Amino acid sequence: MDLFDKITSSMGGPIGQHQKWSHGYFSYPKLEGEIAPHMLFNGKEHLVWSLNNYLGLANHPEVREADAKAAADYGMAYPMGARMMSGNSIHHEELENGLAEFVGKESAFLLNYGYQGMVSIIDALVDRNDVIVYDAESHACIIDGVRLHMGKRFVYQHNDLDSCEKQLERATRLAGQTGGGILLITEGVFGMSGAQGKLKEIIDLKKKFDFRLLVDDAHGFGTMGPTGAGTHEEQDCIDGVDVYFGTFAKSMAGIGGFVAADREIVDYLRYNMRSQIFAKALPMPMVIGLKKRFEMLKSMPELREKLWLITNTLQAGLKERGFDIGVTNTMVTPVYLKGDLYEATALTRDLRETWGIFCSIVVYPVIPKGLILLRLIPTATHSLEDVQRTLDAYSAMGEKLKAGHYREAAPVA
Ligand SMILES: Cc1ncc(COP(=O)(O)O)c(C=O)c1O
């Protein structure tokens, strides 16, 4: 059999099988123009709700200036090589020191891409005798890290403390036999549902069980907590989080991420995370640009205030109009609708073509069959008029969906 036969017979995989009609419109769309709430899609103005530019820093003039100056000063190639070999710099270390202090940990280390970093954090923290306990709705980077684990892993039902406790009991029994430890992994803010991980309650379980807690706070860093330090600050449980992970791809509107923990742990990770040791360091213009973003994130609480104004107005408006926004208690705003794939594509197309509203659509297998999830990501750069325009469009779309209008419509060619 030819290796490629299964590629042909799988018809492109669970998501890729739809690409003939979805590519370029529902998947891989091209948003053009300056990064902002209003961008061009297919040459037409759209109100965009699908960028994790939470604080609106991506296109801030001061950020653009800092990025451009750093690129002119250093070029994009500098520093050459991995941090450990030839890619270290004072700027990388200064950013690390600032981040550690901000998130309430002794030390921090930068990661090239959050995804790879998380995979390697997990890989470095456990050996075959250790046991991993993790949330069922974990992001793919956690799942991939867990996949590398040679020992046992137990998954608990999403955000369900009883289930979590049961899995901790099993893990404790097993670790007792192997002589290993337990790593518990959750997210600070779940990116699909907007639910906060129950960090405080999980930390309470440390009274009964011996484990270490790793939190993926990709969405919470910069948005949650009184200073924006993260979900652990929001829930007032900074010390109970043993290893904190954040990405720069969301509120920091850049690339990369970081891990923060006690000094001894970060010193270990720095020399043992394979995706970081064997890969080129973050480029200097990005690091200097990130320092600028970080300074603004800390010194401009008004950005977070605006983000929450937009979030609260949008979520209240959706609820008033009878939409189901699930259990979100963060800025991530899911709208759950009942319908099949065809209705999902038809109504998303209608939102775009009739009202110029661009939001991300999530369907089976990411969520159960028969459900449609339209995910809205508010940012500090959206306006109250944007919210109103969206609510009006959603009301009209919701009525059409109920009336069965989208049932007959075929996916866009
Ligand atoms: C929860 C979570 N973890 C990790 C990542 C990966 O971060 P990055 O984009 O920096 O690789 C993401 C990004 O989508 C995320 O949502």
DSSP one-letter string for 303-344: HHHHHHHHHHHHHHHHHHTT-B-TT--SS-EEEEEE--HHHH
Q: How far is CA 156 from CA 194, 199, 238, 293, in A?
A: 18, 14, 23, 36
State the distance from the centre of ligand 1 to the C-alpha of 177, rounded, in angstroms. 34
The model's pLDDT over 191-221, given as tens digits with 9 standing for 90+, comes to: 999 999 999 999 999 999 999 999 999 999 9
pLDDT at 408: 73
* Dihedrals phi, psi of 30, to nearest 5 degrees: -110, 110
pLDDT at 8: 81
User: Which residue minimizes the CA distance to atom 10 of ligand 1?
Assistant: 114
Compute the half-sphere exposure of residue 345: CA atoms within 13 Å on the CB side of its CA.
17
User: Is 141 near ligand 1, meaning CB less than 6 Å away?
Assistant: yes
Q: pTM to 2 decimals?
A: 0.96
User: Is 187 near ligand 1, meaning CB less than 6 Å away?
Assistant: yes
State the distance from the centre of ligand 1 to the C-alpha of 240, rounded, in angstroms. 22
Q: Name the residue of 122, 138, 139, 259 to mutate for ligand 1: max ligand atoms within 8 A of Cβ.
A: 139
pLDDT at 413: 44
State the distance from the centre of ligand 1 to the C-alpha of 212, rounded, in angstroms. 21
| Assigned token pair, 233 | 């600050």
| Assigned token pair, 371 | 């459900």
Other C-beta atoms closer than 10 Å to the C-beta of 9 total 7
pLDDT under 70: residue ranges of the chain: 409-413
pLDDT at 362: 87
Sequence-distant (6+) residues with CB within 8 A of 33 are: 39, 40
User: Is 139 near ligand 1, meaning CB less than 6 Å away?
Assistant: yes
The model's pLDDT over 105-130, given as tens digits with 9 standing for 90+, comes to: 999 999 999 999 999 999 999 999 99
Q: Name the residue of 193, 247, 258 to mutate for ligand 1: max ligand atoms within 8 A of Cβ.
A: 247
* Dihedrals phi, psi of 71, to nearest 5 degrees: -65, -40
User: Is 191 near ligand 1, meaning CB less than 6 Å away?
Assistant: yes
pLDDT at 342: 87
Q: Give the pairing type, strands 212-216 and 182-187.
A: parallel
State the distance from the centre of ligand 1 to the C-alpha of 217, rounded, in angstroms. 9
Q: Name the residue of 51, 115, 143, 250 to mutate for ligand 1: max ligand atoms within 8 A of Cβ.
A: 115
* Edge-to-edge strand list for the sheet holding 333-338: 333-338, 371-376, 360-362
State the distance from the centre of ligand 1 to the C-alpha of 410, rounded, in angstroms. 33
User: Is 218 near ligand 1, meaning CB less than 6 Å away?
Assistant: yes
User: Which residue minimizes the CA distance to atom 15 of ligand 1?
Assistant: 218
**Residue that has been written with the tokens 């099949």 in this structure:** 340
- Is residue 21 within 8 A of residue 411, CB to CB? The reply is yes
User: Which residue minimizes the CA distance to atom 7 of ligand 1?
Assistant: 114
State the distance from the centre of ligand 1 to the C-alpha of 244, rounded, in angstroms. 13
